């Protein structure tokens, strides 16, 4: 499986690539298995055996990916499908080890594009030290898909117990870097907006950051603020804990370019997806240590302490630069589907 025996003869995906016969076998062997080969992946088996590691608790997560366009500055749906699931494990306190992959491919997708995407996926997996152990492909008739949808399920080993139930008043909220980069980069990559910018998605594995944070006493909870952004993560914390979250606007890292795009298009950066950031809730005593740990990983603008947990009504309140207060409400409409 290390060498590509033949190039696929077509330029575009045909329905026959999904039929269980010769073309499907060629697609799997010459594209998916070619990029994703590893000792555990056997394309002739219905299930993969995972080496057992007895003293480890296992954690599982799953995520679907529908981003449009399929390729955008800073990544594509393939790298995103690894980062999204790897990051869900990392923020849950688990070391990512294995992935499974589902691909829903629309008839007519250019095979060269699919090849680039699966190569990115393989590279991102290798960089995060995870292997794809099982997969499935389906081909959808033209008009019944969005080019390509992916789903990845991740399996990891638990290294740290974290959870919203540990959150208490006076805990500190930290963010590992700027917010809104992914959302605005994908927005601008859509031709419909007729805008161009130098924005890049922050799509990345947070594994190194998470591994460093796992060592911090007083770390209570982490989440990667993807769909619905920072505000939606903090809203969920309010609802589950019954506490209030107070955010300090001047401390929230947002790139100027992201702020400009949001102002022009009428988006609120607090609700835009990030794909390589961590929101962490840490006890007040170790918040400075956690911040220093995060800032050891260079980021422009850098990681910051951005908020506090407080007794009170479960509201998310933004304290503005001028000392005013703004309630950040729960997201109701959907301004931007297929962002991740």
Of 270-329, binders to a second copy (CB under 8 A) are none
- Sign of the torsion angle spanned by Cα atoms 12, 116, 92, 231: negative
Size of the site for a second copy (CB under 8 A): 82
* Minimum distance, C-beta of residue 290 to a second copy, in the bound complex (Å): 19
Q: Is 145 in the site for a second copy (CB under 8 A)?
A: yes
Checking phi first, is residue 324 left (phi over 0); if not, alpha (psi -120 to 50) or beta?
beta
- 237-256 binders of a second copy (CB under 8 A): 240
Q: Compute the distance between CA of residue 40 and CA of residue 32 in angstroms, rounded to an integer.
A: 14
- 1-30 binders of a second copy (CB under 8 A): 14-25
Task: Return the range that interacts with a second copy (CB under 8 A); candidates 54-62, 75-83, 288-296, 304-312.
Answer: 54-62
Q: Report whether 107 contacts 142 (CB < 8 A).
A: yes
**Nearer Cβ to a second copy (91/199):** 91
Task: Return the range that interacts with a second copy (CB under 8 A); candidates 123-131, 147-155, 204-212, 308-316.
Answer: 147-155
Q: Compute the distance between CA of residue 121 and CA of residue 75 in angstroms, rounded to an integer.
A: 10
Q: Which residue in 59, 50, 68, 132 sits closest to 99, CA to CA?
A: 132
Sheet holding 325-327, edge to edge: 219-223, 279-282, 172-175, 304-310, 244-248, 316-319, 325-327
Task: Return the range that interacts with a second copy (CB under 8 A); candidates 3-11, 69-77, 149-157, 247-255.
Answer: 149-157
* Minimum distance, C-beta of residue 48 to a second copy, in the bound complex (Å): 5
Q: Compute the distance between CA of residue 50 and CA of residue 30 in angstroms, rounded to an integer.
A: 24
Q: Compute the distance between CA of residue 276 and CA of residue 85 in angstroms, rounded to an integer.
A: 11
CA 181 vs. chain centroid, Å, equals 12
**Nearer Cβ to a second copy (144/288):** 144
Q: Report whether 255 contacts 301 (CB < 8 A).
A: yes
- 70-109 binders of a second copy (CB under 8 A): 88-89, 91-92, 94, 98, 100-104
Looking only at the bridges linking them, the beta strands covering 219-223 and 279-282 are antiparallel
**Nearer Cβ to a second copy (8/257):** 8
* Minimum distance, C-beta of residue 307 to a second copy, in the bound complex (Å): 19
Q: Is 265 in the site for a second copy (CB under 8 A)?
A: no
Q: Is 227 in the site for a second copy (CB under 8 A)?
A: yes
* Minimum distance, C-beta of residue 60 to a second copy, in the bound complex (Å): 5
- 153-212 binders of a second copy (CB under 8 A): 153-156, 158, 163-164
**Nearer Cβ to a second copy (133/258):** 133
Query: Which residue in the set 146, 197, 218, 314 belongs to the binding site for a second copy (CB under 8 A)?
Result: 146
3-state secondary structure (DSSP) of residue 212: helix
Task: Return the range that interacts with a second copy (CB under 8 A); candidates 222-230, 256-264, 284-292, 310-318.
Answer: 222-230
Query: Which residue in the set 10, 71, 236, 319 belongs to the binding site for a second copy (CB under 8 A)?
Result: 236
Q: Is 44 in the site for a second copy (CB under 8 A)?
A: yes
Contacts (Cβ under 8 Å, ≥6 apart) of 24: 16, 17, 18, 137
Q: What is the dihedral of CA 237, 240, 242, 243, to 10 degrees?
A: -20
Of how many residues is the chain composed?
340
């Amino acid at each position: 499986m290390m060498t590509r025996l033949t190039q696929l003869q077509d330029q575009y995906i045909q329905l026959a690539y999904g039929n269980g016969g010769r073309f499907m076998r060629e697609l799997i062997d010459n594209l998916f298995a070619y990029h994703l080969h590893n000792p555990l992946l056997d394309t002739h088996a219905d299930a993969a055996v995972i080496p057992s590691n007895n003293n480890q608790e296992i954690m599982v997560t799953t995520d679907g990916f529908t981003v449009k366009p399929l390729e955008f500055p800073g990544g594509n749906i393939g790298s995103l499908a690894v980062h999204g699931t790897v990051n869900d494990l990392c923020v849950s306190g688990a070391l990512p080890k294995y992935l499974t992959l589902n691909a829903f491919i629309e008839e007519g997708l250019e095979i060269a594009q699919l090849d680039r995407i699966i190569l990115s996926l393989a590279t991102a997996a290798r960089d995060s030290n995870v292997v794809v152990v099982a997969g499935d492909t389906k081909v959808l008739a033209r008009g019944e898909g969005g080019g390509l949808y992916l789903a990845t399920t991740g399996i990891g080993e638990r290294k740290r117990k974290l959870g919203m139930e540990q959150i208490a008043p006076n805990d500190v909220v930290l963010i590992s870097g700027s917010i809104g980069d992914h959302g605005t980069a994908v927005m601008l990559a859509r031709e419909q907006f007729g805008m161009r910018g130098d924005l890049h998605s922050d799509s990345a594995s947070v594994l190194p950051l998470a591994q460093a944070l796992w060592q911090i006493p007083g770390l209570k909870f982490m989440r990667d603020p993807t769909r619905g952004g920072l505000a939606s993560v903090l809203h969920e914390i309010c609802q589950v804990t019954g506490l209030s979250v107070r955010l300090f606007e001047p401390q929230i890292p947002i790139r100027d370019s992201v702020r400009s795009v949001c102002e022009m298009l009428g988006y609120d950066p607090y609700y835009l997806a990030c794909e390589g950031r961590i929101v962490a809730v840490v006890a007040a005593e170790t918040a400075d240590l956690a911040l220093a740990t995060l800032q050891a990983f260079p980021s422009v603008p850098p990681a910051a302490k951005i908020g506090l947990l407080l007794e009170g009504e479960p509201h998310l309140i933004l304290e503005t630069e001028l000392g005013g207060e703004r309630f950040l409400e729960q997201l109701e409409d959907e301004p931007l589907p297929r962002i991740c």
